[in-house]
Amino acid sequence: MNNFFLILSHSYLSKLKAKSFIISTVIIAAVLVLLANFDSIISNFSNDDTSIIAVQDESGNLYDPLVQQMKITNSEIELEPATQSMGEIEKKIESEELKGLLILSESPEGLPQALYKSNSLSESNVSGELQVALQNVKSSLAASKLELSGDELVLLSGPVPFEKEALVEGAKSEEELSQARGIVYVLLFFIYFSVIAYANMTAMEVATEKSSRVMEILISSVSPVKQMFAKIIGIGLAGLTQLAVILAVGYFTMIRKKDELVGGFFEGFGFESLSASVVIYAIIFFLLGYFLYATLAALLGSLVSRIEDVQQMIMPMTFLIMIGFFISMFGLGNPEAGFVTITSYIPFFTPMVMFLRVGMLNLPVYEPVIGIVVLLATIIILGVFGARVYRGGVLLYGKSNSYKDIKKAIDLTSKK
C-alpha cells in the first residue's frame, strides 16, 4: 500500500512542478482576470475621439432631424454638413480626418434613403447607428404624412405583449431558464475542456513511462494495477488543485468587480443567481467524467510504445467526449428533447448531458441519482477491465496503434 501512495504522490507532485502545468494555470488565471477587467482595458486602449461624419443632404430637410436623432442615440458620432467638393471630402476620409460621408436623398414616396461612404465596410457599428437613427427619422416622417400623433406612432411600432406560462408546477420561468442557460453554458465548457485535458494527460503519462522503459522498473516493485489507479488519482488531484486555484482567482476577481459587472457579463450569464446545487452537480459530474475517461485513457495509453501514437489511439475517446459536448450544446435550446433525455443515461455522455438537464430543468432527484449510479457502475466495470488490459499492455512493445492489441494484452495478463 505504501508503494501505491508513493506513486500517487509522485504523479501528483511531478505534475504540480511541471513547467507546462504552472504556465497553463497562470495563463488561465490571467485570462479570467483579463475578462473581468475587459471593459476597463478596452476603454484605456480605445480611441475616445468623436467620429465625424460629413452629411450631404440632397433633400434639404433631412439633416436637422437626423442630427437630433443622433444626439439621442449616440454622442460619439458627430455630424457636420458637407461644404466641400466630393473629391476633397473623399481625400479627408482617406487621410482619416473624416470617418465617412453620408449622402441623404428622398425616395419617390418622400421618405429618406441614404448612401454611406467610408474607407472600409468592416466598421459596421458606425453605419449601423446611422441607419438606426435614419430609420427613426423615417418613422417620424411617415407618421406625419399619415397624420399620426406621437402616441399613436409608439402604439403602432411597440412590441406585442407576449407572456409564457408553464402548466407543470415548479417549472422554471423564462427568466430563470435564460439565467440557467448562461450558467450551464459556461460550466459545460469547464467540464468539457477539463475532462479532455486531464484524460489526455493520463494517457501521455503512461505512454511516456512505457516508452522510456521506466515502466519495466516500476512493475518489478509495484503491480501495474496499483500504478494505473495511482496515476489516475494523482493526476486527478493535480487537476483539482489547478481548478481550485483558477476558481479561487475567478471568485475573488468577480467579487472585487461585482458592482461593475452588474447588468453585464456577471448578470447576463446568471452568476448572481448561481445556486450551490448546480455547483455541486458540476463538481460531481466533472469528477465522475474524469475518472471514466482517465481510466479509459490509461488503458489505451498502456497499449502504445511511442508517445507519437498516443493521439491516434485515444482519438475515438476524444470523439466520444466531443459528441457528448455537442449534444449538450444542442440541448441548451431544447433540454426536454427525447434524445437528450436518452443520451443523459448513456455513461460516456452522462457527465455533460445529465448536468445540462439538472441545470436547465427541475428534475426529480432520482434522475440525476440514476445517472450518477450508471456512471459509478461503468467506472467500476471499466476499471476492472482496464486493469486487466493495463497489466498486459505495459509489457507490449513495438508498433501499437490497433485495438487488436487489447486482446493481446488480456492474453498476456492471463498467462501471468
The per-residue pLDDT for 375 is: 93
Better-predicted residue by pLDDT, 273 or 335:
335
Rounded mean pLDDT, 96-105:
83
For residue 119, CA distances in Å to 78, 98, 100 come to 17, 10, 7
Dihedrals phi, psi of 111, to nearest 5 degrees: -110, 155
For residue 150, CA distances in Å to 72, 155, 157, 158, 341 come to 16, 9, 11, 12, 51
Place of cell 434639404: 60
For residue 116, CA distances in Å to 60, 63, 108, 109, 186 come to 17, 14, 20, 21, 39
Q: Is the pTM of this model over 0.85?
A: no
The x, y and z cell numbers of residue 211, run together, are 516508452
The CATH number assigned to the domain with range 51-151 reads 3.40.190.10
Dihedrals phi, psi of 148, to nearest 5 degrees: -95, 140
Contact residues for 105 (Cβ-Cβ < 8 A; gap 6+): 58, 59, 112, 113, 114, 115
Rounded mean pLDDT, 93-102:
82
The per-residue pLDDT for 378 is: 92
CA separation for the pair 352, 164 (Å, rounded): 28
pLDDT in tens, 260-308: 555 544 555 545 555 677 778 888 888 888 888 888 888 887 777 677 7
Q: Strand 100-106 vs strand 51-57: parallel, antiparallel, or unpaired?
A: parallel
**Of 103-107, 214-218, 249-253, 405-409, where does the model show the most confidence?**
103-107
The per-residue pLDDT for 25 is: 84
pLDDT in tens, 360-399: 888 888 999 999 999 999 988 888 887 777 776 666 666 6
**Of 97-101, 298-302, 317-321, where does the model show the most confidence?**
317-321
Domain ranges of the chain: 51-151, 173-415
CA separation for the pair 318, 201 (Å, rounded): 12
The per-residue pLDDT for 64 is: 83
**71 HSE (CA, 13 A, CB side):** 7
CA separation for the pair 207, 331 (Å, rounded): 36
CA separation for the pair 293, 286 (Å, rounded): 11
Instruction: Name the residue type at position 169.
Output: E
End-to-end CA distance of the chain: 21
In percent, the amount of the chain with pLDDT more than 90 equals 6
Q: Residue 159 burial by CB count (10 A; 0-12/13-18/19+): exposed, middle or buried?
A: exposed
Better-predicted residue by pLDDT, 186 or 409:
186
Can you point out the beta strands (E) in 64-123?
A: 77-81, 100-106, 112-117
